[in-house]
Every structure is written in structure tokens, then in C-alpha cells.
Structure 1
Amino acid sequence: MPLCNDSSRKLALAVALLFVGVLYIIFSTRSISVPVSNLLHNINTPQPVKKIELPLDELEAVLESAAAGNNNTVIIALVNRAYVEDVGGGKAMLDLFLESFWEGEGTMPLLEHLLLVATDQTAYDRCRFRRLHCYKMDTTGADLEGEKVFMSTDFIEMMWRRTHFLLDVLHRGYHLLFTDTDVLWLRNPFSRLSNNGSLDMQISVDQNNVEAVQSINTGFYHVRSNNKTISLFHKWYDMRLNSSGMKEQDVLQKLLDSGLFNQLGLNVGFLNTSEFSGFCQDSPDMGAVTTVHANCCRHIPPKVFDLTLVLTDWKSYKASHVNNKWSPHDKCGGSWKDNHYVPKP
């Protein structure tokens, strides 16, 4: 009996080992065949290559967002603390500027394409509070925070920094419409500008001139990004080194008068003050006026005061459609005689 039992146990063990061996062979073969089959499939079947998105720098990202849906064109304005703080009467220059978009005809949607370029943290924070497209410009080596009086050293420096920034925008392939924040937008200017690409640059003037010479104003102008305009801006910005005491507008005027525009093959349009008006020369027709610029004015407080009157005149026109005269710009007219004015630091 013991021998029989022992033989039975050995036979059962052998059968069990044989069964386990068969199972091992079956499952190991399956486990190997699946990956090999998949590997061959992957080699012979083209796989889509995942696109690697390169990170955008901060400026490119905000430009792309602001220009979207606007023919690759971005509206740019420069602001500092002096332009976003109350100067009396409960309003700042930026307040009036943005209010004009609300009160203008067909202008409110354009805020989606407005980029405010801040020269200091206060201006940047105010822009962010307004939920606009905002960018803080690098101002290393310069103090551009407080009010910079017309033709002061800091004022001239700020104008050149602005020119360099706009050159960067053109280099990136964006068309731009630059506007000072002391320009009220009463109608959509794009409907009055040439948008068929025939003009490389369209720029405002202080006064209409029937002669060949134009008194240009760089407070409002449209530029298409191309080799000609980029070359112009390069030459313009480089001229700062040999133009001590001159603001960028005067240097551009000099380049225009010298014939450089013609040499570069630039097609330039000059905006008539009947539509693109200013304090230097009022538009006589409220039914045609598109923008009003507080040019021919020296300080921020009188600009805010007289532009407030312009908005009041505009609201009256919208209610009655009666073409009246603009209120006198007395505060701005008197700003040139105010030799005791001290801007806020």
C-alpha cells in the first residue's frame, strides 16, 4: 500500500507539472506575440507627428490677441502714471480716452483691439483693472512715470522709447494704428482710412496745407508692416543719435522734407483735419469728424478740461444732429503762457 500511494503521488505530481508547463508555453507565447505584432504595425503605419508649440513671449502673445479679427492690425496707445491718475474733476486722461470709445459711433468694439503700453507699474495696474490688453514696456535707465512736460528731456526720451517699441511691433509683422491718449475717438477711423494696402503710412497733420509741405503729427498714424516702413522706422530711430534736443516728430518731419520717403518708395497719405481734427485746427463739420486731438496744448490738466468740453459738444450733437461750433479751447490756449506750472512728480 505505501508503494502504491507513493507511485500515485508521483504520477499526480508529474501530470500537474506537465499541465503547468503547457499553460506557461501558451501564455508566454501570447504575451510575446502581441507586442511584436503591435511593433510591426507601428513601423509600417505612419503616425501623426505631434506639433510642438513654441512658447510666445509676453509681447507677441498680447499682440496676437489684440490684432485677432482686425486684419492683423493692433491699436496702440502709450500711458504712464500721469495719464491714469485724476488731475482734478474726478477724471484722468485715460478715463476720457476710453469714454470716447463708449460715446463714439461704431467705436466700442475697437476696444477689443486696443493695446495699452504702460511705462510704469501704476499705469499697468490701471490697465489690468480695466480688463484691456496691457503690456509693461521695459524702461530701464529712464524715469517715465510722472508727467513729462512738452519738449523736456524726459518727454523727448519717452517719445524715442515709443518709436523703438513701435519698430518692434512692425518687425513682428503687425500693422499698427498708434494713437495718443489725448485723442478722442468719435467715429471708427478704419472706415475713413485706406485699407486696400495702397498706402504704407497715413498720418495726421496739425493743419491742412494745400502746398506740398505737411506739418505732420505723430499723435495719430496708421502704418502697414512691410520692408519699406521697417526701413523708415530704423532710419528714424537711428537719427536720435544726431538729433539732440529734437523730439521724434520733428526728426520724422525732417526725413519727410529731405525726400527719404520717396527714396524708400513709401506711399503716404495725410489725414485731413476735417475728419481727423485737433485743437490746432478744428473740424468745421461734426457730421464728418472722426477723432479730436488735444494738440497745440502743453500740459495734461488743460487737455483734460478742454477734452471734457469736446465730449459734451459731441453728446449734444448726437442728441440733436445740429452742427454747432466746438467750445473754445481756452485752457489749452493759455497753457503756453503758464510758466509757473509744476507737474506732479
Structure 2
Amino acid sequence: MIPPHRLSYHRKPSPPPVTPFPRSSDSSSPTLKMLPEPPATLILRRFLFLVAVSLSCVILFRASDSIRFLPRFQSSTSGSSFSSFPFNFSAFDDSPLEAGDGYRLEKVLKDAAMEDSTVIITAINEAWAAPNSVIDLFLESFRIGDHTRRLLNHLVIIALDQKAFARCLVIHTHCFSLVSDGVDFRHEAYFMTPDYLKMMWKRIDFLRSVLEMGYNFVFTDADVMWFRDPFPQFYLDADFQIACDIFLGSSDDVHNRPNGGFNYVKSNNRSVEFYKFWYSSHETFPGYHDQDVLNIIKSDPFILDIGLKMKFLDTAYFGGLCEPSKDLNEVCTMHANCCFGLDNKLHDLRVMLQDWKHFMSLPPRLKRLSNFSWRVPQNCSLSSIHHYDSLKDIEEGGAGLT
């Protein structure tokens, strides 16, 4: 596990009192005892004192102002203290594009949060942020969805490179740039390549940090289309609930195949400890991505020990190309999972949006009676993913679709 970097901020000491005219060591001097100070000397002495006080105030103000924008490293739901961020957050860099207070993570989250401190988070790189790419389709789904447009006010887009951040500033309100030294996330990260694995695990550790700051979140991949408000379908008593590639009929069945591209997590000690455990497990199972590791650890006794309540979301409401939601009157989200290649993904996402627009154009009576179904997957194929799944099962005992 990457060791946490500790941020230290030292307040400069106030300058010593200015004594421009020291008294003579000869205490018996009659001149010093008897003669009053000239008016000009008294005025100069007061002026220099005011200058010293003003400089002290400026130093203290700057120190307190830098601290004011530091993220909260203590959970709002407990008295325990958590470790600081392990990332090179661009909010603390000197880049002109990111140095403004408006792009600090604490402020971005606060501005986007709902009344209960819940935010919606997605992450993009240059490939997914390009015009007419994934992020545009993602935002369009909110605009054409059923009562989803208002949720854009609570969406935070995490940019993994400078071009993605610049594009986010053009198309959305709440943006944050997350930069990693020595890692290039600009281009399409192909499934299970080293860059893909770094991106997935970076995401897990970043989300742990958001929980530590006291924010609940819905994390959504940008290739998840939002067609209805999902919050009414979430379980009120769950700490961690996650969508599935394959749903077996029960929200409590650990044999469900979860997909890390969509989950709702509440900020508390249990969820923070779970994310720490999840992230640290990538060292125990090197070469696996976060979803594979989750499939391995979801039954671990540690989860029972910390008391985490985990739920799996029904694909009837939270579907995907692996297992599409069948009833468009019920669907909340649809994920372009089980798909290799950006071009294939974009093609099927556009078809998905066309299908939804056609459904929404129907009169209410026809919507209820309609047997309308998705025309996807088309270019996306499950065969290559089943092949990967079989190899993992045979070679290393891994499980899980992607």
C-alpha cells in the first residue's frame, strides 16, 4: 500500500517587537530621566510599532488562510483520525490552471454536495473527455433522463490528466484534477494493461479519501447512462451497495457478480476500513483489477468483523450490456460493461440513447404496454470477456466479468 504523505504547515513566528531607539545602559543619565522625547521621535516610534503589528497580522492571516482550505482528514461520523491523501492532488500544485481555490477538492465537494453530504462522482481521461466521446454521452443521459437533469448539480468530474480537466471546465461546473507523478492516463487504457490496473486502483484509493472527508458518494463510470433517479432504489440500511454484471435474484447473495463501475457508499468507519482493506488487497492479489479482488474479498471474515453491510443491486434497475434491464419503465441506469474498445463502446452507447429517446417519445399508455427492448449489445461482444473469465478461473482462480 502506498504510504501516506503527511502535509505539514508551519506558521511563521511573529517578528520581535521593534525597539528603534534602545535606552542607554547608564541608568543614571539625567538627560534620559529628565528630558521628554521630541514629538518627531514619538511619532516615528508609533509608526514603526504599527508596521510591526501589521506585518504580524499579514503572516498570521496567510497561515490561517492556507489551513482553511485543507481537506478534513477526520471523519465527520466518528472521532477517529484517518491518514492523509496518498496522491499528488493538483489542488496543492502551482499550476496556474489548477491553483485557484475554486478547484480545491474540499470546495468542489462542498459545492456539489446534497443536503446529506452526498456527491455523484465520475472519472475521465483525455480519451473519454474528447468531444463526442464518452463524457458527452454521459451528460446527455442526465439531460434526457426522467428527473435526472437536476442531479447534474451534484456531479463531480475527476479528471486524470490536464486535457481532461480543461475539457471538464468547458462542459461542467464541478471539476477536480487528480494528477499522479510518473503515470500517463491520457489515452485509452485497454483492459488489464498496466495503465488500466493503475487507473482502477487509483480510483479505489481516491474514493477512500472522499469517505474520510465525510462525504457519501455514488461512484459511476462515465459509460453508465443515467435514465432515472436511482436514489429511490437504494437500500437505506446498507453501507456499501454495488451494481452487478450478473444478478442472481437476492441483494444479499455474495455469489452475485458485482461491477465496480457503479456503487453507492455511505461515509462511516465501516466503509472507510472496507476501502482500505480493498485497496491493500491489490498487493495480496497482484495483477488483478479492483473488480476481481472485490469478488475474492466480498466473503472475507474481515467484512463481518467490521460490521459492513453490503448489498448487491438488481439489474432490473441497474442493468448493463452483460445483463440488460428488461423493462424500460423500471430502468435507472445502463452500463456499457462487457465491452472492449472505445469505438465499440461509443457505438452501443449511442444506440442505447436512441432507444431511450424513442421510448420517452411514446404516449404514457404505450409506454406502460410497450414490449420495447434495447437493441444493444451490437458492436460490444461478450465472447472475449467470457474467454478472459475462463482464463482467470483456470490459471489463477479469479472470478468476475468486467
For normalisation by structure 2, the TM-score amounts to: 0.67
Which letter maps to 2:373?
A: K
* TM-superposed deviation, 1:315: 0.8
2: CA distance between counterparts of 1:283 and 1:136?
Answer: 33
Contact 2:239–2:271 (CA under 8 A) maintained in structure 1: yes
1:332 is matched with which residue? 380
Give the alignment of 1:1-345 within 5 angstroms: 54-57=67-70, 58-67=104-113, 69-86=114-131, 91-194=132-235, 196=236, 198-210=237-249, 212-320=254-362, 321=367, 322-333=370-381, 336=384
TM-aligned CA deviation for residue 335 of structure 1: 8.4
CA–CA distance in structure 1, aligned partners of residues 281 and 352 of structure 2? 36
1:76–1:117: 8 Å Cα contact kept in structure 2?
A: yes
Residues of 2 paired with 1:129 and 1:300: CA distance? 22
Determine if contact 2:352/2:376 at 8 Å carries over to the other structure: no
CA apart distance, 1:334: 7.3
Once residues 182 and 60 of structure 1 are traced to their aligned partners in structure 2, the CA distance between those partners, rounded to angstroms, is 26
The answer to whether the 8 Å contact 1:179/1:219 transfers is: yes
Determine the C-alpha separation between the residues in 2 that align with 1:306 and 1:64: 35
Counterpart AA for 1:55: R
- Structure possessing the higher relative contact order (Cα contacts under 8 Å, 6 or more residues apart): 1
Q: Distance in 1 between matches of 2:225 and 2:315?
A: 14
TM-score, structure 1 as length reference: 0.78
| Moved segments of 4+, more than 6 Å | none
Cα shift readout 1:23-46 (whole Å, capped 9, x = no counterpart): xxxxxxxxxxxxxxxxxxxxxxxx
Given the superposition, is the C-alpha separation of residues 335 and 207 from structure 1 closer, same or farther in structure 2, using an over 3 Å criterion? closer
Q: Do the aligned partners of 2:121 and 2:155 also contact (CA within 8 Å) in 1?
A: yes
- Give the SS at the match of 2:140: helix
Please report how far the alpha carbon of residue 268 of structure 1 lies from its aligned counterpart in structure 2 after TM superposition.
1.4
Give the residue type in structure 2 aligned to 1:59.
L
Identical positions, percent? 37
* 2:4 corresponding residue in structure 1: none
Partner of 1:5: none
Counterpart AA for 1:205: C
RMSD, aligned α-carbons: 1.9
CA contact under 8 A between 1:302 and 1:335: conserved in structure 2? Answer: no
Greater gyration radius:
1
Q: Distance in 1 between matches of 2:372 and 2:383?
A: 25
The one-letter code sitting in structure 2 at the alignment partner of 1:154 is: D
Summarize deviations over 1:214-267 as a string: whole Å, max 9, x none. 111100000001000100111111122222110011112211033432222111
After superposition, the Cα gap between the structure-2 partners of 1:129 and 1:84, relative to the gap in structure 1 and judged at 3 Å, is same
Looking at structure 1, the residues matched to 154 and 128 of structure 2 have their Cα atoms a distance apart, in angstroms, of 20
Report the 3-state secondary structure (helix = DSSP H, G, I; strand = E; otherwise coil) of the residue aligned with 2:208: helix
What's the counterpart of residue 22 of structure 1? none
> Whose helix proportion is higher, 1 or 2?
1
CA 1:212–1:122: 2 relative to 1, 3 Å: closer
Q: Distance in 2 between matches of 1:112 and 1:163?
A: 23
Give structure 1 stretches of 5+ with no counterpart: 1-51, 338-345
Segments of 5+ residues of structure 2 without an aligned counterpart are 1-63, 71-103, 386-402
> What is the distance in 2 between the residues matched to 1:131 and 1:254?
37
In structure 1, how many angstroms separate the alpha carbons of the residues matched to 2:308 and 2:146?
A: 31
